Structure 1
Amino acid sequence: MSVLDKLLDGVQVEWKMLGEALVRTTGTNITAGRMKELHKDNAPLKIFAGGKTVAFFNYSDIPEKDINKEPSIIVKSRGVIEFEYYDMPFSHKNEMWSYHSKNNNISIKFIFYYLKINEPYFQNIGNRMQMPQISVPHTDKFQIPIPPLEIQQKIVAILDTFTELTAKLTANLTAELTALKQQYTYYREQLLSFEDGEVECKTLGEVGELVRGNGLPKADFTEAGVPAIHYGQIYTHYDTYTTKTISFVSPKTAEKLKKVNKGDVIITNTSENLDDVGKAVVYLGEETAVTGGHATIFKPGTTIIGKFLAYYTQTEMFAKKKAKYAKGAKVIDVSANDLAKIVFPIPSLKEQARIVSILDKFDTLTTSIRKDLTKENELRKQQYEYYRDLLLTFPKKVN
């Protein structure tokens, strides 16, 4: 803190409108279809189209006048409203705009960092529109601080270092999580693999009852009431099992829906990708729950443990089996009738319980480590944002 106090002590700050301090440039007139057509993976010129959408062109693909070769701040003005710094030759769709500096006393990277901490301000303006968007006057008239260039450069150096360290930490944590997931997947595949003839195999329909859900749009959710599981929540909120739901419906709505009892397995039937189809979660809550369409309730018989089934649906072996029954292109579906035909290994209940016990321990361990690593990453991010905000907070001149 003493370093920060010393750095900012007595700093004289000039305030100007962004459009007055920097040079605004337009992009190029090009459609999304044309961008896709001209894209080449190893081409040198990056073209921005808003959000995370980019393409790479050769220099000859667009007019020379539309190519920006100055380090710039790109304004993503529609949909996801944000600012991006880029210091290589680029262009962008003409619905966007960018800024660069021709003033030797202004660091464009410094202004970028200042705009980044003010993104919520611009996003709030954009969210007032039917399609989130901001216009040129919103940024042109925005007031920015301009301390002495030396101070700008010091702040940029500090924030660049923070950014680099944060990126390295995130990369390391991601690598740890990936390694952990790979280790868990390896042992799960080993535990659930059986030699031909080693255990009895039966179809899912032979070892339990399958009940296809009905209804349950998200609009029916209430803050309290009867526990409810929407199919989309299974592959976004739940792992192998859950003791409570994140959603509820009214008792009147629940009367129309299929019931889920403790120990039942809810299996997804539909998704935009095959990986999420057939994902299963065991409901272990004490209160009867409900589920809706695009999900099938599996009520285990006396020869299979629900958790054993749920863990098996996460394997590569099951992925190959369900792929044979998948129908559709944009939306993929594996029906309850087809799920009933899929053959599963059914070892003894004692062996199933042993495997489930081991995988439960792995699941608990990996979940705990994942939470710890995620929390550490979040704390480092908060630390970075705290110091960034301190460095970029300047007193405004009072008239």
Structure 2
Amino acid sequence: MKAVPIKDKFNHKIEKIAVSDIRQFDTEVSSIPGIIKLTLGEPDFNTPEHVKQAGIKAIEDNQSHYTPNPGIMPLREATAAYFNEKYHLNYKPTQVITTIGATEAISVALQTILNPDDVVIMPTPVFPIYKPITEINQGNCIMVDTSADGFILTADKLRQVLAENQAKTVKALVLVYPSNPTGVTYSRKDLEELAEVVKEAGIWVLCDEVYAELTYNGQHTSLAEIIPDQVLLVSGLSKSHAMTGWRIGYLFGPEDFVEQAVKAHQYMVTAPTDNVQFAALEAMTNGKEDSQVMKAEYLKRREFLQAELAEAGFEVASPDGAFYLFAKIPAQFEPDSWAFVRRLAKEAKVALIPGISFGPGGEGYVRLSYAASMENLTEVAKRIKAFVAAN
């Protein structure tokens, strides 16, 4: 019998999106002999020993079963206490969902709030995850270039964008800070001004604050402290505790939101991994200062690399957090970030990410991750300076 072709074979939304070009480029350059990659946001530290031991003990204790959908209650209690203490928040344990990394938290949040053709405002440059997740969930995006305002979204700009799109159903604003890719963050004053516009507009704010503990210029302020009823707060342990591979994230929100979000979470992943939650519990209970050692080292690397790049002729956005530098390509080169990073990889054996990968406002820039050893950063600086000098 002849097989009948499957009609309309794939989800049209999936067909229209692409695999991250950041990952594609990282794979592309990995085969170059002697290449040093500053491409991915992957801490070069190991998970703290006490956290690892808690994970091992959980396995030995046969913590290998289904847990409640939003995670074990001791972890939700410890997580609420941890974030409340650090960032002056007021979350109950029932307002926390434990997720499979921050990525799942973003997916759950957007799936929970979006109806077909709802609009999400995204300040750019921004890590290229929020737009495809929005589109998969039948939403539309308005990308707002912030490069003229020091890579922050001002209250005036947000008010202008809302006024220009009154005919559309604007449902949410995405705010990522400290920022990937720029390292720029928002002051309390910035956030208070944005909060006034958000309240007037009656929209959600999806706040990805996964780099909060890597804030270098003063204390991180969460928008959830200012307008908790309108904030969906995303965080996790990947950056603060060097636990990228453990895949633990958190989603906080108002109680009525959590009641709905737990459904999306349940049907997406059932529940978080059992033994990993006990490692996370140890991190939340006894690892409140674990990030400080890493933060101090990142700060040294930032100062070194920023100075070296300035000497080579790069202008760098104000890197107040995370572990990235967003550097403007020197004037003697064409501002084609793909052409620049491909030449740099081939001729200098240094791999960076092109700024255009992060959307409007990113062209003409490159992103460097300084989550790498000082030995590698020293060699990278040497190679970049020689490459620029030769051109």
Could you state the TM-score of these two structures normalised by the residue count of structure 1?
Answer: 0.28
Largest Rg, 1 or 2: 1
Q: Which structure shows the higher strand fraction? A: 1
Q: Which structure shows the higher helix fraction? A: 2
Q: Of the two structures, which has the highest relative contact order with CA contacts closer than 8 Å and spacing of 6 or more?
A: 2
